[in-house]
Structure 1
């Protein structure tokens, strides 16, 4: 069952990027984000309520739930939606897989935690991969402003996601139920995006076409409700370290789809960059015992790690 949930999370979160692409068009991206998380939050609240698992959150913790919503269910997705306008969705997903690099920076910035040498090594490898991945695209368009902006937004969205992880960890340390925080956080995120959009005069239209409605339902139910539930279940069963390997596999799925669905062409340098990003994530997350066992030529010990 754990293996099924593991594979399900990789498949769902590896394909949500192409669904985001289908939401860009007639409807403002702010409206699409608000619709997605309003629907996902409502579904999750109803499901938890029916199961008797919806817990009250004390007022003193509400600002941190709101901060988690700001980082995980609003600002980061606004950046991703905008980035997908300028660069292929598969590339955006590769940048997202480099969230571990931002985790290193945020952990030092906010908690002054110095990373282990292998974490630094993985971060450097990942940064080199991103540079290789976007070199051909940027130079091929003579540093096109839209492409550069798309890259910057994808990186900014990934930073927000990483900061949201720290806020989520804080909430868990204070005993707040993960599912309940996610449910309220999704509703808060939808309200935040909607409020900013209304202040800016953004029209809240709706596209009834099958591609848009299908993408909305996919992003809200599988992408948000089922995806987060499956991911958190795997984390509970096998631990966060092993579950983190899923982020390495997301871009493999997304970039493969991008090749066929968006006509993205993988150049040799881009392929090298893609491999470096994945290698950086593996170096960051590989269990220390397994790495030592491999260096000593004891594969059986690595398997047990």
Structure 2
């Protein structure tokens, strides 16, 4: 039940954050908005950890590992994703981000030595084909003016950064570091890195007085950062990245619903086909071969397995 609740929270929250990010773009620089988001999240986590008297001390090497995780997971990842949504709808960005499932499985093999089944390669090909079909209208004319293609490249770069950050999160958890203190330090380091990036880029630390900006900032800080990352990292620790990443398959569905309702996202044949290919590839990656064989035998004409009650 606890694992199911963690799944539900992660899917619903992160599926809706793609839409909330749209209200952060425009008046305030991307780097500055992210400083506010993760700075507020870090403050809340530190207050909670201190109130609960959780141990916050870490050896110096662990600080370096957490700082690198933060740079990949909170700073670089989100900077690229926010930039991508200047060129893509939230639904398209969320669908492209779902390729992190494939990246996590491959990186789990590379960093932790887990073998990769043949079905994973087939699923990866389906996922890549699905992304290509989704962006087929934009890929027909390759040029520097193709902003959707630029958005896709930004999403995939941010996704790869997040996947590497996931691997560091798993390693830190396996070394005994608790989730909440790790995230408290990580979001502090992430906000500092983003502040340095903003200063280097000459950005001004202004804030919008628009209610949509302020409410979305609060939602992204509390729910999208504190709660969702805590839930997801707990799933990574419990189940491993190759299984916990299944949430990434589900939250594009939530994002598409929000984008269709509020952004005027128009479904086309290529959208449906590409979306189905991505989901099929991801499902193939996560379903063991023996389960696929049992499913085929159950529904094969004249070959029905007995139903166990």
Residue matched to 1:97 = 98
Residue matched to 1:191 = 192
The answer to whether the 8 Å contact 2:89/2:265 transfers is yes
Q: Secondary structure at the match of 1:71?
A: helix
Question: What does residue range 1-305 of structure 1 map to in structure 2 within 5 Å?
Answer: 1-2=1-2, 3-107=4-108, 115-139=116-140, 144-233=145-234, 243-297=244-298, 298=305
TM-fit CA distance, 1:7: 2.4
Structure 1, unmatched stretches of 5+, are none
CA deviations over 1:87-132 (Å, ceiling 9, x no partner): 1111111111110222244346656765211111111110000000
CA deviations over 1:16-72 (Å, ceiling 9, x no partner): 001111100110000011110011111011112211224311112111111100110
The answer to whether the 8 Å contact 1:55/1:177 transfers is no
Please identify, of 8-17 and 136-145, the stretch whose mean Cα deviation from structure 2 is larger: 136-145
* Closer, same or farther: CA 192–232 of 1 in aligned 2, 3 Å: closer
* Closer, same or farther: CA 233–115 of 1 in aligned 2, 3 Å: closer
TM-fit CA distance, 1:228: 2.3
Given the two structures, how large is their TM-score scaled by the length of structure 2?
Answer: 0.89
Cα distance in 1 for partners of 2:107, 2:171 equals 14
Structure 2, unmatched stretches of 5+, are 299-304
Q: Secondary structure at the match of 1:73?
A: helix
The answer to whether the 8 Å contact 1:293/1:299 transfers is no
TM-fit CA distance, 1:139: 3.4
Q: Secondary structure at the match of 2:203?
A: coil
* Closer, same or farther: CA 34–261 of 1 in aligned 2, 3 Å: same
Tell me the C-alpha RMSD between the 2 structures: 2.5
CA deviations over 1:221-248 (Å, ceiling 9, x no partner): 0111111233345566777666433221
* Closer, same or farther: CA 224–136 of 1 in aligned 2, 3 Å: same
Cα distance in 1 for partners of 2:35, 2:106 equals 29
The answer to whether the 8 Å contact 1:132/1:269 transfers is yes
Count matched residues. 302
Given the two structures, how large is their TM-score scaled by the length of structure 1?
Answer: 0.90
